[in-house]
Amino acid sequence: MELGHSHGPVGIRLVRTRDAKVLQHELMSNRAWLRRWEATIPGGSTSFDMRVNIRRLLQQYRDGNGYPFVMEYEGEVAGQLNVWGIARGSLGSATIGYWVSERFAGLGITPTSVALATDLCFTQMGLHRMEVCLRPENTASLRVVQKLGFRYEGLRRRYIHIDGEWRDHLCFALTTEDVPQGVLSRWLHGQVPADAGEVPPEHLPDQRR
């Protein structure tokens, strides 16, 4: 199955092996922009060989464990969005992670792509729940989930190894019951509940020192 969807100039599609060169260029050109938010391996090294990473992601896709997308803007690769940790059966859930190049920031690419991917997973892939976990310091990602109305579900202490340390994460989620009209449609029509992504002040960085 060829996965993909678009809205206006923004689109997502399944990553291809031939995307390795452009993705590696974007990743390496954005080190200062991305390093702070990148997953790392305790005691190990992070691979920036996109050919290897794409092969691994596509194997996870073939195994039914993930959906690896590239995000595009007017046909140009702008970043990656991965649906990972897919659990089927009685759970029916997955998690979204993403990165976008700095030169594409502020164009609405990430919220549109997250909405597209979540709608696709709910309507075509049969998933019931989508989760986004982000560092409390990541204000750009916080704006994304709040724009789309992801519900805040709590603080996970030292949840993911990011930029060399175990980092706290804020957890947000949506279920199919939350968005019968679809995530993208609800956002575009201004129907997102104002308080859906509200985070208690004590869970935000400037309140936890």
**Cα gap 69→183, rounded to integer Å:** 18
- Rounded to an integer, what distance in angstroms lies between the CA atom of residue 175 and that of residue 118? 10
Sheet holding 10-14, edge to edge: 4-7, 10-14, 67-73, 76-87, 93-100, 129-134, 165-175, 151-162
CA distances from 45 to 40, 100, 164 (A): 7, 22, 10
Q: Which helix (H) or strand (E) holds 131?
A: strand 129-134
**Residue 47: predicted pLDDT:** 61
pTM: 0.93
Strands of 88-149 (E only): list them: 93-100, 129-134
Per residue in 20-66, pLDDT (tens digit) is: 999 999 988 887 888 888 888 887 666 668 899 999 999 999 999 99
Residue 107: DSSP 8-state: S
Q: Residues 35, 163: contact at Cβ < 8 Å? A: yes
Give the residues of the chain that fall short of pLDDT 50. Answer: 1, 209
Number of domains in the chain: 1
Helix (H) or strand (E) run with residue 24 in it: helix 20-29
Expressed as residue numbers, the domain containing 65 is: 4-207
pLDDT number for residue 209: 45
Task: State residue 39's pLDDT score.
Answer: 85
H or E segment to which residue 45 belongs: none
Q: What is the pLDDT of residue 60?
A: 94
pLDDT at 46: 61
Residue 78 host element (H or E)? strand 76-87
CATH number at residue 63: 3.40.630.30
